[in-house]
Amino acid sequence: MALASDSDAPLDRGALARLLRTHRHRLVLTQEELARQAGVGVRTISDLERGANHSARLSTVRKLAAALRLSEVETQQMLRVARPGPAPTAPVDAEPTGRFLDAAAADAAGSWERSVSFYEAAMAEVTADPDPDLRDLADALLGFGRAATMGLRRHDARPALVRAARVALRLRDRDRLVEAAAWYSFMTKAGESGHEAGDLWQHALLLIDDDDLAGRSILVAARATVAVLDLLPESAPALAARSLDLARRSGDSDALAVALSAYVLATWGHPNPGERRALGEELEDVESPWFPHAALAGVEVQAVPALQLGDRAAFERCASTLAATATAAHHPYAAAQAELWCGASCLLRGDLAAAEAASHAAVASAGRAPNFTAAHVAQIFAIRRAEGREGELVDVVAAGLAAQPMELAWRAGLALAALAAGDVARAAEVVDRVTGELWPPATTWTLPLTLAYLAEAAWRLGDAGLGGRVAEALVPYSDELVVMGTGSACEGAVSHHLGLAALARGERDEARRHLDRALAVHSALDAPVLVARTEAALAAT
């Protein structure tokens, strides 16, 4: 086979450069770190990423693929762009593929990628018919949506579920419509809502009878989910509260699981960690036929608010429980989440090497699912901050911002990385855009982290105006700790960041009051990195 040759290969320079940068950013490696792990020169990687090389030895490409921990498929892709030519033939799966039989078997085994491929084949088979059976089409779309959701491919699942709902509306099929809405809503955290999804779910409610409390609850939860995804914080909590009220009155466990999930996610980023923790405990006890993994989701829901409340022991119990339950239930994504929490705990106690190892293990075991990749990057950023090396990650954070421009936290993180790298002008430019065009920020699940980063940026830039704005927005969270994302790191007490905002305004007495309080919290938490950070800020007063 041509790919086996180690001779010089004509290079598809742009394609290889893009792949190399993408995979390096996913692992949060500098060019120097990748060169060291691959056993090649830094200049080699730099030239490849700039598209400056005209040829590359395939042995070099293989070394890079191994250092980047690529799968066999990803390795072959990189080799193909290094030496364009016919793609190697993949082995053919000889198993029979009935329309839904094999998909159902794959579902039962938890083989979500196989399920997705089977349902894709079923959709192709149904739609090839000039007069397709709409019920079969709805079932294929629903199956694909379920499998893609369980496989953490929500960006693929949501359009399929919206389409399934549209087909169900044409059929006036209540059950398929409600099932589509339920899978659309359960444990949705981020992404795009889908084309005109808000109008769809609102219109679909007209099909639900007045006395069908469970169906109404699930459709309202879908509307709340759209509001969360489309950054409409005014309507999301009210809709989610309505969904939860209907679900409790219905006595339906599936509706309750969906409504609890929708309410928790609609209020994530609000100053209510005690309420969300209690709802997570309730979700853990729900026995839902549609969502047998609701107990895992309930544990996940409890962990972040526990850490926000400074209950580190409860946070670590959640990690242990999730790891044990996920292993028993063969649920690799939940196990990967537990690994991320292990990394957060290591970071708190100052064991940065163990934290980084746990983070790499988590993203690897999750198969680099997009949300785990983003959480991994964020966690490595926190680790580098603890080491005073966040300036090395300017390009990585900028790539994160490019991939998720709706998440303001990436911009705030970019400002800090730029400051650490000595690029004050870039940091000031980022902050100027945030305050001049993007303020006030929406109340999303990343808002407290965004405000915390901006407080530090305000202090380092001496920006009194930003310090005042951030302080006003942080006050409602003053009794909490700032937790990154889904619990991948803790950035310390809100009082610490209120102290930094006061320093930015030149109010040293107020800064000392806040920082003294933060120091006590960090000492009680037994978090040496956070203690040192607050002590350094106190020294500046």
**Do 392 and 512 reside in the same domain of the chain?**
yes
Beta pairing partners, 270: 268
Cα 84 to its chain centre, rounded Å, is 34
- Roughly how many angstroms between the first and final C-alpha of the chain, as a whole number? 67
pLDDT in tens, the chain (541 residues): 233 344 444 445 677 888 888 788 778 888 888 888 888 778 788 888 887 665 667 778 888 888 888 877 677 778 777 765 443 333 333 333 345 666 666 666 667 778 888 888 888 888 888 888 899 999 999 999 988 888 777 888 999 999 999 999 999 999 999 999 999 998 887 777 777 888 999 999 999 999 999 999 999 999 999 998 887 767 899 999 999 999 999 999 999 999 999 999 999 999 999 999 999 999 999 998 888 888 889 999 999 999 999 999 999 999 999 888 776 556 777 888 999 999 999 999 999 999 999 999 998 887 767 778 889 999 999 999 999 999 999 999 999 999 889 889 999 999 999 999 999 999 999 999 999 999 999 888 899 999 999 999 999 999 999 999 999 999 999 999 999 988 999 999 999 999 999 999 999 999 999 999 999 999 999 999 999 999 999 999 9
CA distances from 278 to 136, 153, 191 (A): 40, 28, 26
DSSP 114: H
In contact, 142 and 182? CB cutoff 8 Å: no
Task: Report pLDDT for 102.
Answer: 64
**DSSP-based three-state secondary structure for 135:** helix
**Do 113 and 33 reside in the same domain of the chain?**
no
CATH of the domain at 230: 1.25.40.10
Exposure string over 130-155, b if 16+ CB within 10 A, otherwise e: eeeeeebbbbbbbbbbbbbbbbbbbe
Q: What is the C-alpha to C-alpha distance for residues 33 and 53, in angstroms, rounded to an integer?
A: 20
Q: Is residue 462 a part of any domain in this protein?
A: yes
Of 219, 238, 267, the residue that ends a domain is 267
Q: Is residue 351 a part of any domain in this protein?
A: no
Of 244, 267, 290, the residue that ends a domain is 267
pLDDT tens, 329-345? 567 778 889 999 999 99
**Do 373 and 418 reside in the same domain of the chain?**
yes
**Do 135 and 241 reside in the same domain of the chain?**
yes
**Do 457 and 500 reside in the same domain of the chain?**
yes
pLDDT tens, 196-243? 888 999 999 999 999 999 999 999 999 999 998 887 767 899 999 999
Of 232, 267, 302, the residue that ends a domain is 267
CATH of the domain at 44: 1.10.260.40
Q: Which amino acid is at 361?
A: A
What lies within 8 Å, CB to CB, of 330 at 6+ separation is 110
Phi-psi category of residue 330: left, alpha or beta, with phi > 0 → left and psi -120 to 50 → alpha = left
pLDDT tens, 416-435? 999 999 999 999 999 999 99
Burial of 200 (0-12, 13-18, 19+ CB in 10 A): buried
Task: Report pLDDT for 406.
Answer: 85
What lies within 8 Å, CB to CB, of 344 at 6+ separation is 307, 315, 355, 379, 484, 487, 488, 489, 490
Q: Is residue 449 a part of any domain in this protein?
A: yes
Return the structure tokens found at 233: 């914080």
In contact, 161 and 184? CB cutoff 8 Å: yes
Q: What is the C-alpha to C-alpha distance for residues 508 and 355, in angstroms, rounded to an integer?
A: 34
Show the domain range for 19.
2-82
Q: Which amino acid is at 427?
A: A
**Do 439 and 514 reside in the same domain of the chain?**
yes
**Do 403 and 488 reside in the same domain of the chain?**
yes
Q: Is residue 152 a part of any domain in this protein?
A: yes
**Do 251 and 372 reside in the same domain of the chain?**
no
**Do 135 and 22 reside in the same domain of the chain?**
no
CATH of the domain at 448: 1.25.40
Ranges of H-type helices in 6-133? 13-26, 31-38, 42-50, 58-67, 72-82, 101-109, 112-128
**Do 78 and 106 reside in the same domain of the chain?**
no
Three-class secondary structure assignment of 210-233: CCCHHHHHHHHHHHHHHHHHCCCC
Per DSSP, the residues of 414-470 read HHHHHHHTT-HHHHHHHHHHHHHHSPSPP--TTHHHHHHHHHHHHHHHT-HHHHHHH
Q: Is residue 412 a part of any domain in this protein?
A: yes
Half-sphere exposure of 161 (CA within 13 A, CB side): 29
DSSP 89: P
Q: Is residue 157 a part of any domain in this protein?
A: yes
Per DSSP, the residues of 179-198 read HHHHHHHTT--SS---TTHH
Task: Report pLDDT for 276.
Answer: 97
Indicate the helix (H) or strand (E) that contains 471: helix 464-474
Indicate the helix (H) or strand (E) that contains 489: strand 489-493
Question: What's the whole-model pTM score?
Answer: 0.82
Task: Report pLDDT for 93.
Answer: 35
Q: Is residue 402 a part of any domain in this protein?
A: yes
Return the structure tokens found at 143: 């199956």
Average pLDDT, the chain: 87
**Do 427 and 372 reside in the same domain of the chain?**
yes
**Do 56 and 172 reside in the same domain of the chain?**
no
Q: What is the C-alpha to C-alpha distance for residues 10 and 278, in angstroms, rounded to an integer?
A: 60
Q: What is the C-alpha to C-alpha distance for residues 201 and 193, in angstroms, rounded to an integer?
A: 11
Q: Is residue 173 a part of any domain in this protein?
A: yes
Task: Report pLDDT for 49.
Answer: 84
Give the number of domains in the chain.
3
